[in-house]
Structure 1
Amino acid sequence: MPIKKWIFQYSIALPLVFALLSSIQYIKGHTVSYSLVFGMTWSFISVAIFATRRAYNFKKNIDCQLCNDLTQSDSQQK
């Protein structure tokens, strides 16, 4: 498994998702402490679900059709 690549990607994604969710809750009028807890909780949940599914697909050797389509269309345009 490409663990190093995934750790790098999720180390970027986790703070971005946290900041997005926390700021949305704060803009909606919730307190700062509630917004931070909400952002932390749901960012960990969402990234964990995504990472688990990605590892499952890698283990079962399931191709990503979207990724395959993007690669083919990029090579056709060049």
Structure 2
Amino acid sequence: MGTAFWIRRFTFVFILAFIVIVCSQLLKGRVLLYSVTESLTWAALSASIFTAARIYQSRRGKHCAICRDTPEMLNEQSGDKQ
């Protein structure tokens, strides 16, 4: 898996975490600036840990059987259909 794959993965997780965290902070009644600041911090931390863990697992040859989102799993899945 190339660098572009992991950058897209990090960006996707970062945006998703940011949206969830900012919405939860706003629902708690926090100020917008505080919500955005906290969301940026925690989204970056969460995306970094998630991506690093997935890279580590990928290098060890362990793929998520539920996700089936890595190129290796997609190739394996298409090979099963033939």
In the superposition, the TM-score normalised over structure 1's length comes to 0.72
Paired residues in the alignment total 72
The Cα offsets for residues 5-59 of structure 1, whole Å up to 9 and x where unpaired, read as: 1212322331222122112101111111210111111111111111010010111
Structure 2 partner of 1:54: 54
Q: Is the helix fraction higher in 1 or 2?
A: 1
Unaligned runs of 5+ in 1: none
Quick check: 2:22–2:39 contact (8 Å CA) kept in 1?
A: yes
By relative contact order (CA 8 Å, sep 6+), the higher-ranking structure is 2
In the superposition, the TM-score normalised over structure 2's length comes to 0.69
Distance 1:62 1:16 in 2: 24
Q: Percent identity?
A: 26
CA root-mean-square deviation: 2.3
Structure 2 partner of 1:10: 10
